Amino acid sequence: MPLAAAPRLLAAVLLATALSACSARHQNPVAVGGDDDDAVCQSRGYAQGSPEYVACRKDRDVQRNAATARADRRQRDLGEYMLNHPERP
């Protein structure tokens, strides 16, 4: 491999690594189980459009948002810990 191609290859590898890390970070966590909200609420016997069904869907949304907030908070706390404790890798 010529010496001139090495910096380009290194830059491409670093860019690919950075982009793959970003894409995996912003995936939404699954609320409870890996099921579809519609399927879960209908399997509980709630008819689509009924007040119970709407409450079930809202509850699933709240659970998903809480899981996302917890994951973001843990990531932020880890970053702050790493900044405040540089002696521990």
pLDDT, residue 4, reads: 73
> Does 75 fall in a domain?
yes
Q: 38 CB contacts (<8 Å, ≥6 apart)?
A: 48, 57
Contact 64, 79 (CB under 8 A): no
pLDDT, residue 2, reads: 66
> Does 64 fall in a domain?
yes
pLDDT, residue 89, reads: 61
> Does 2 fall in a domain?
no
pLDDT, residue 79, reads: 94
Residues 5 and 8: their CA atoms lie apart, in Å, by: 5
Who wins on pLDDT, 77 or 87? Answer: 77
Q: 53 CB contacts (<8 Å, ≥6 apart)?
A: 41, 42, 46, 47
Contact 47, 59 (CB under 8 A): no
> Does 28 fall in a domain?
no
Name the residue with tokens 């191609």.
Answer: 5
> Does 49 fall in a domain?
yes
> Does 5 fall in a domain?
no
> Does 56 fall in a domain?
yes
pLDDT, residue 23, reads: 56
Owning domain of residue 76: 35-88
Mean pLDDT in residue range 60-81:
96
DSSP helix/strand/coil, 69 = helix
For 9-64, how does the pLDDT look when each residue is reduced to its tens digit (9 = 90+)?
Answer: 777 776 677 666 655 555 555 544 556 999 999 999 999 999 999 999 999 999 99
Total domains in the chain come to 1
pTM: 0.56
> Does 14 fall in a domain?
no
